[in-house]
Chain A
Amino acid sequence: MAKLKLASYWAAACGGCDTAILDIHEKILDLAAAADIVFWPIALDFKYADVEAMPDGNIDVTLFHGAVRNSENEHLAKLLRAKSKVLVAFGTCAHIGGIPSLANLFNKQSIFKRVYHDSPSTVNSDGVEPQPKTKVPEGEITIPQFYDTVWPLDHIVDVDYYVPGCPPTPKQIWSVVTTIVSGQLPPKGSVVGASEKTQCDECPRQKHEKKITGFKRIATAQPEQETCYLEQGFLCLGPVTRGGCDTRCQLSGVACRGCYGPPPGVLDQGAKAISAIASVIDATDPAEIERIISEIPDPLRSFNRFGIGGSLLVRKAL
Chain B
Amino acid sequence: MKRISIDPITRLEGHGKIEIFLADDGSVANCYFQVPELRGFEKFVEGMPMEEVPRVVSRICGV
Interface residues of A (CB under 8 A from B): 10, 12-20, 41-49, 69-70, 72, 98-100, 102-103, 105-106, 110-111, 114-115, 119, 130, 136-139, 141, 143-144, 146, 166-167, 217-219, 254, 257, 297-298, 301-302, 305
Contacts and interface: CB of A to CB of B under 8 A. Distances in A.
Nearest to B40: A111
Nearest to A67: B39
A298 B8 contact: no
Interface in B11-63: 11-15, 19, 21, 29-30, 32, 34-40, 42-52, 55-56, 59-63
Contact of B43 (A49, A110, A143, A254): A110
Contacts of A301: 48, 52
B38 A15 contact: no
A130 B52 CA distance: 30
A138 B30 contact: yes
A98 B59 CA distance: 10
Given A43-B11, A70-B37, A143-B34, 6 more contacts: A14-B63, A15-B62, A42-B12, A141-B19, A141-B32, A254-B55
B15 to A, nearest CB: 8
A100 B39 contact: yes
A139 B30 CA distance: 11
Given A48-B8, A115-B43, A141-B19, A12 B37 contact: yes
Given A15-B61, A42-B10, A42-B11, A103 B36 contact: no
